[in-house]
Amino acid sequence: MKVNIYTMEGKVSKQLDVPEAIFGAKWNADLVSQVLYSQASNRRAGTAHTKDRSEVRGGGKKPWNQKGSGRARHGSSRSPIWRHGGVTFGPRVDKDYKKTIPKGMKVAALFSLLSAKVAAGKVIFVDTVPTLSGKTKEADNAMKGLTTIEGFKTLCYKKPNNVYMTVKKGEDVTKRAFRNLPYMTLHNMDDLNPLDIANTRYLVIANPEETIEYLSSKIAK
């Protein structure tokens, strides 16, 4: 399949043949759901923690005698049924949320999501990102050039997770210019992952030939 390659000014520079296996894959909802769930679980910090009755301060003394008071018997004021008592079955910091999933499933889910984005018209292939001086305003002006492309008028809307952009490794000055834009996240091309793509509205792929070469190497694996 052929796709248009744009300049940062929003003009078509050429067309490029992209592999059907990567950008024309069949949608697999069950597979994508499993991979997204596992990746989201692996990103959980797991810092939520509640104290059980053995950790709550106090409660060492029996509140009242076992018999004779007419009240229900209790052994500790830190029982889970008491106010300020311990918590039963609450979140614990020692719980491990990590889930493992085969690499082949991750790659298949990535290709399925990339294909869905291309089919929905939410992907822009950019020939190269201009070398910037590191100023965020320059990066914002560069991105506004892409809004002239049909269907991408809202590309620079200042909403979180609006744009996911991939660049080559080593472009540190460019990354510094783009990283403060509130509507986009910038990553190396080898950091492409299903969860970020699913959570982002638009995908901008710079240096598409190199990115496709990297993604094609995953097919062989």
What digits encode the pLDDT tens for the residues 123-176?
999 988 877 777 888 888 888 899 999 889 888 888 888 999 988 877 777 788
- What local confidence, expressed as pLDDT, does residue 63 receive? 93
Q: What is the pLDDT of residues 104-121, one digit of tens each?
A: 999 999 999 999 999 999
Check pLDDT > 90 for residue 77: yes
C-alpha closest to that of 203 among 109, 110, 107, 125: 125
Average confidence (pLDDT) over 95-110: 92
What is the SS3 assignment for the chain? CEEEEECCCCCEEEEEECCHHHHCCCCCHHHHHHHHHHHHHHCCCCCCCCCCCCCCCCCCCCCCCCCCCCCCCCCCCCCCCCCCCCCCCCCCCCCCCCCCCCHHHHHHHHHHHHHHHHHCCCEEEECCCCCCCCCHHHHHHHHHHHHHCCCCCCCCCCCCCCEEEEECCCCHHHHHHHCCCCCEEEEEHHHCCHHHHHCCCEEEEECHHHHHHHHHHHHHC
Predicted local distance difference test score (pLDDT) of residue 95? 87
What integer pLDDT is reported at residue 189 of this predicted model?
A: 86
Residue 221 pLDDT class (50, 70, 90 cuts)? low
Q: Does 180 or 125 have the greater pLDDT score?
A: 125
Structure confidence by residue, pLDDT tens digits, 183-193: 888 888 888 89
Region 11-36 average pLDDT: 93
> Does residue 23 surpass a pLDDT of 60?
yes
Say yes or no to pLDDT of 179 above 90.
no
Are 186 and 167 in contact, with CB atoms under 8 Å apart?
A: yes
Residue 48 banded pLDDT, cuts 50, 70, 90: very high
Q: What is the mean pLDDT of the chain?
A: 90
pTM summary value: 0.82
Report all structural domains of the chain as residue ranges with CATH numbers, in order of start.
2-44+102-220 (3.40.1370.10), 46-96 (no CATH)
For residues 81 and 179, the model is more confident at 81
Q: Kindly tell me if the per-residue pLDDT of 41 is higher than 70.
A: yes
Q: Is 18 in contact with 184 (CB distance < 8 Å)?
A: no
Say yes or no to pLDDT of 220 above 70.
no
Pairing relation of β-strands 123-126 and 202-206?
parallel
- Please state the rounded mean pLDDT for residues 182-205: 90
Q: Which two tokens stand for residue 129?
A: 């990102």
DSSP bridge partners of 122 = none
- Nearest-CA neighbor of 202 among 172, 157, 169, 168? 157
Model pLDDT, residue 184: 87
Confidence of residue 219 (pLDDT cuts 50, 70, 90): confident
Determine the angle formed by the axes of helices 103-119 and 29-42, rounding to 10 degrees: 120
